[in-house]
Chain A
Amino acid sequence: MISVNVKLFAMVRDIVGAGDFLMSLQERSSASALVSALGMKYPELEKWRHHLRIAVNGEYVDEHHVLKDADEVALIPPVSGG
């Protein structure tokens, strides 16, 4: 198992009810697998699935990116700065 630090923001954080927590996943889980796992617990997240970008350790990655232990994974909903 690996343990990753999940960071959530804005409406996604509101859905899950937390913005900063650890998640355990199988070794070699992809970023997409993490989103699916969260989606199983929080079905409302599924509506946002195709609007989310994923960042690992501060860099955007695609959904196939393989996660490692201690990675920081952020789900980035559509940004609205400025």
Chain B
Amino acid sequence: MIDITGDKIDVANVLKSVEDPLAGGIDMFIGTTRNHSRGKQVVALEYEAYRVMALRTMESIAGEARRRWSIRKISLVHRIGRVEIGEASVVIAVSADHRGEAFEACRFAIDALKKEVPIWKKEFFQDGELWVGPQKS
């Protein structure tokens, strides 16, 4: 399952999407909104995506994970719009016959997603909001 959704991510559903009787393990990464950043209190996050390219890039990351590790299923789901503290902004799940591959492929997928997928995060503070990235005066 590769998806970008404006709704709360159904984590159980993502887990279900990678279940496989041939798999001996499932590794799941859940990215959650933390309440602090740059020493300031974060009130919420907001994500925006270049949807068509983000989906394509996520598909390609899944494809590369399949090529590099022997896995059964992989799912990547990213949320867009406003995400409250503690809520999931991204969920990645990988099933594999053995846990080593599941761990490695899942780690690869989140690292690659953070580097490549055209999705942007805006942090909301008590006193303002900022797109994450190099700050220009």
Contacts and interface: CB of A to CB of B under 8 A. Distances in A.
Contacts, number: 71
Interface in A1-33: 7, 9-11, 14
* B interface SS class: mixed
Q: At the interface, is chain A mostly helix, strand, loop or mixed?
A: mixed
A7 B118 CA distance: 12
Interface in B9-57: 31, 47-50, 52-54, 56
B116 A79 contact: yes
A55 B133 contact: no
Interface residues of A, number: 20
Interface in A49-82: 51, 55, 58-59, 74, 76-82
B48 A10 contact: yes
Given A10-B133, A51-B133, A81 B49 contact: yes
B50 A7 contact: yes
Contacts of B115: 79
Contacts of A78: 133-134
Interface of B: 31, 47-50, 52-54, 56, 78, 89-90, 110, 113-122, 131-134, 136
